[in-house]
Amino acid sequence: MLAKRIIPCLDIKDGRTVKGVHFANLRDAGDPVALGAQYSKEGADELVFLDITATHEKRKTLAQLARSIAQHLTIPFTIGGGIHTLSDAYTLLEAGADKISVNSAAVRHPQLIDQLARQFGSQFVVVAIDARYEAGDWWVYLNGGRLRTQRRLLEWAQEAAARGAGEILFTSMDHDGTKQGFALDITARLSTHLPIPIIASGGAGSKAHFLEAFTTGKADAALAASIFHFGEIAIGELKQYLHERGIPVRWPTHKS
């Protein structure tokens, strides 16, 4: 079995790391570059940096942030927010990002996934999907959770995979920031029906929640924010906990 990944996520607004509940009521959590460097030292497998207002405010993800991050990290990182073109993606790759994450732009223009995969390779492309359970199904939301679409989560995730996405980063808006655990049933459905890795996001509040994500949820990686930002769970302790319960984890490995 492949090692399961622990991924701290840093949501960026106006150059600062923020965290809220259900995508709202944001509070400051610190400098993203400093936090990223700290998590790298603590043994995180990867990092995700998302400019959560880039699409809504019609802004591009700043390449300078990627350059600053790359100078201080020894592990892979993904960066997303406001990526609409191959040129946007190339700028971030050139600045040092290992992967890019696309969300709203991919839903509006699905061919962007095909273009990115052909140009850079599927391993470079993470499709992030924010969804909420309503009226008996999971529905995809855009613009940082502000706009509901008519796309169903499983249907859209399958299309994204078919178009060349290398991973799906699924965030349950219902669970986001609640610390009540991940959306296990739908995460397991995604993992079962898709041929690519699924990153579970939204709801982590304890070490047991990560264990559930990897067992019941069948996730390939688990992402969390506030529990790491505010020192509630140490990454090394989390990995030791998972290891003792039979979950394969990576002990600190670094990119050259």
Domain boundaries, the chain: 5-244
> 45 an active-site residue?
no
pLDDT in tens, 178-188: 899 999 999 99
Q: Which CB contacts under 8 angstroms, 24+ apart, belong to 94-99?
A: 94/63, 95/63, 95/64, 95/66, 95/67, 95/70, 96/66, 96/67, 96/69, 96/70, 96/71, 97/66, 97/69, 97/70, 98/46, 98/124, 98/255, 99/123, 99/124, 99/125, 99/126, 99/166, 99/167
> 31 an active-site residue?
no
Among residues 45, 88, 98, 130, which one is catalytic?
Answer: 130
Q: What is the pLDDT of residue 52?
A: 66
Note the CATH number of domain 5-244. 3.20.20.70
pLDDT in tens, 204-224: 999 999 999 999 999 999 999
39-48, 64-73, 185-194, 212-221: segment of lowest average pLDDT: 64-73
Q: Is the pLDDT of residue 58 over 60?
A: no
Among residues 11, 51, 88, 176, which one is catalytic?
Answer: 11
pTM recorded for the entire structure: 0.90
